[in-house]
Amino acid sequence: MSPSQREMTSSDRTYHPAFSEEDATIVLTSSDGIHYRLHPFTLRTTSGFFRDMISLPQKSASEAGDTKTIVEEEQIALDEGNKVLTPLLKMISGQAVEKWTSLDEMKDVLDAAQKYDMPGPLSIIRSTVASPPSYITLADPLRLYIIAAQHDWEEEARAASVHTLEVCLYDKTLESVLHQVPSAYLLKLFRLHRVRRDKFREYIERDNRRFGLDICVSCRAGNQLTPLEQIANRFVMEMDQKPGGNFLAEGMWKEWPLYKGAMCPHNPGTLLATLCGDKIVEDLRVALKSLPATT
């Protein structure tokens, strides 16, 4: 601690308004100079780290033979900034905490809760990971899965895995991110994506048909696939990249020239979309609904 820090008096400090009680004898200081007054009891009962660090108030005998508690202010400088310490200390103090604005913010507080051995904040953040999706979780679903996996939160990782289904795990830009996933959880995630693709293919190609429709051998020109087979193959390719199937469910494939321009050889002038469109849509809906959604 520098001389200027030693000489700083209580009145010179800037206290966070939620942690400024004068009878609170522990003063925590953030890396950016914000001070927090807390009672020793709060820190000792909510943090294994501070339980070992903070001593109980000492007693001394007065001249009259009575005892009184000697209360000395104890200052502790921490490495974290106020954006991390404020929500963390509010959690252990039973105060309301603002909603997370980003996964980075949540992760920083989570790391601090682990560092200071605070089970209360850890459980609160763990519940957040498993809660219904919000804009911050949907903005980076793979990161959410990684957070759960790194802490071996199986149930939370399973809940987060469904939000990764619109992420292409083969994207080279994600290589460094995927290296952060523990191997067991990474295998589960790849297995989920692969199984969805494979089961989707099995369903739309069941009984050697496509979308429940017979493949007309006479529609083949040499070894060329029929339009139905080509469309089915394109669907499987889409599911291989993003097995959530949103692209297919939203019907954007209807703009493919392969679909819009395909003609039925047995009905001159009749589009394949006119003959088979409704059946493809219904079969697609059932196929997507039947797939496993989590690891």
Give pLDDT, residue 63. Answer: 46
Give pLDDT, residue 134. Answer: 79
**Summary mean pLDDT of the chain:** 88
Give pLDDT, residue 133. Answer: 78
- Rounded Cα distance between 15 and 18, Å, is 8
Q: Tokens for 149?
A: 């996996």
pLDDT < 50 stretches in the chain: 1-7, 61, 63-64
Contact 59, 70 (CB under 8 A): yes
Give pLDDT, residue 11. Answer: 58
Contact 19, 89 (CB under 8 A): yes
Give pLDDT, residue 10. Answer: 57
Q: Tokens for 248?
A: 């297919």
Give pLDDT, residue 59. Answer: 54
Q: How far are the Cα atoms of 64, 129, 160, 190 from residue 185, in angstroms, in the given order?
A: 67, 16, 12, 9
Helix, strand, coil shares, percent, the chain, to 5: 55, 10, 35
Give pLDDT, residue 4. Answer: 39
Contact 166, 244 (CB under 8 A): yes
